[in-house]
Homo-oligomer: A and B are copies of this chain.
Amino acid sequence: MVQRNLAQRSDPDSWAGEIARARERLAVHLTKTPLVESDFLSRELGRPVLLKLESMQPIGAFKVRAALNSILTHLDECRSTGVVTNSSGNFAQAVAYAATRLGVESTIVMMRGASAFKRRRTEAFGGNVVLCEDSFEARFAATERIRVETGLRLLHPYNSPETIAGNGTLGLELLEQVSSAFDLYVPISGGGLIAGTTLAVKAGRPECSVFGVQSEANPSMKLSLEAGRPVRTAPAPSLADALTVLEPGSQTFPVVQEHVESVELVSEEGMASAVRLLAVEQKLVVEPGAAVSVAAALAAPRGRDRPLVCVLSGGNIAPESLRELLAAGS
């Protein structure tokens, strides 16, 4: 595959073929995740609110789309070399799951301070976890050293065509599940999910509007949009650990810059409250970094009547964190 001028490739039509091929690759591995109307949120917002349940994916998060597509695109090579990635969260689990399923060895570099819950799950899915110091720089360095020394194929959590096309399959599903133009709220970390989804949705139904959502603590994409280029920000602690990133991807940033209406920021209390609401009213366990889409939708200006779709990107919250958030609301 010729990958020309990747950083500038933000034209939805130019991605349609790759996203369609990703969908063919994933077809035997994943089923379409449900899109359910939330009666509670629809009444609250006065228009249909639909929730895309990526939390129902095998590992409990959307990342399995990108992990499977990244390995399947280069399956023979991955089987002979194995794969390595750096992630302390859902991509770690996704790579472990996808690799094991496809007969590939996987090594995942995690920070020592990563959530024990996510580490245990990564190992349970068959990944070899290698620990490093608690910084993004140390994690990049450890990953690069392993890649060079062992020849493992590197899988990028968000900044690669395979990741973007894999995530694009979510957009194709939405086009089938909603029959008219809609507003779409998508959490942003490195931008892989929103880039893929936006490219698919805009190619199929350009009148849809996409809104990105980040935490106030880690507004890297928002600051980058203001600066007009990807800028590096210092990671800050947040309930939404899944949304902590050093900077947007060089390949994802231009897509957001060109096609996303705005990036909304959600406070810690806003995401905590959305996690509670989703558990109590909607019977869904959703992690804070995914519940931000609902928090942003609740804060959106009223008066639009097209359906509003929130991507619930994952449900991997540790049981003790869920307990604390439920207690805070009572």
Report if A56 contacts B (CB, 8 A).
yes
Range of interface residues on chain A? 20 to 34
Residues of A within 8 A of B (CB): 31, 33-34, 36-37, 39, 53, 55-56, 58-60, 276, 279-286, 315-316, 319-320, 322-323, 326-327, 329-330
Beyond A284-B285, A319-B329, A323-B327: 4 further Cβ-contacts under 8 Å?
A39-B58, A56-B282, A279-B285, A323-B323
B283→A285 contact, CB < 8 A: yes
- Choice from B37, B39, B281, B320 contacting A330 with Cβ under 8 Å: B320
Give Cα A96–Cα B65 distance, bound, in whole angstroms. 41
- Choice from B34, B39, B58, B282 contacting A34 with Cβ under 8 Å: B34
Q: Which residue of B lies closest to A286 (CB)?
A: B283
Nearest-neighbour CB distance to chain B for A238, whole angstroms, equals 20
Give Cα A53–Cα B55 distance, bound, in whole angstroms. 14
Contacts of A37 in B (CB 8 A): 31
Nearest-neighbour CB distance to chain B for A28, whole angstroms, equals 13
- Choice from B34, B39, B279 contacting A319 with Cβ under 8 Å: B279
Q: Which residue of B lies closest to A101 (CB)?
A: B39
Nearest-neighbour CB distance to chain B for A70, whole angstroms, equals 19
Q: Which residue of B lies closest to A59 (CB)?
A: B39
Nearest-neighbour CB distance to chain B for A296, whole angstroms, equals 20
- Choice from B36, B59, B285, B320 contacting A285 with Cβ under 8 Å: B285
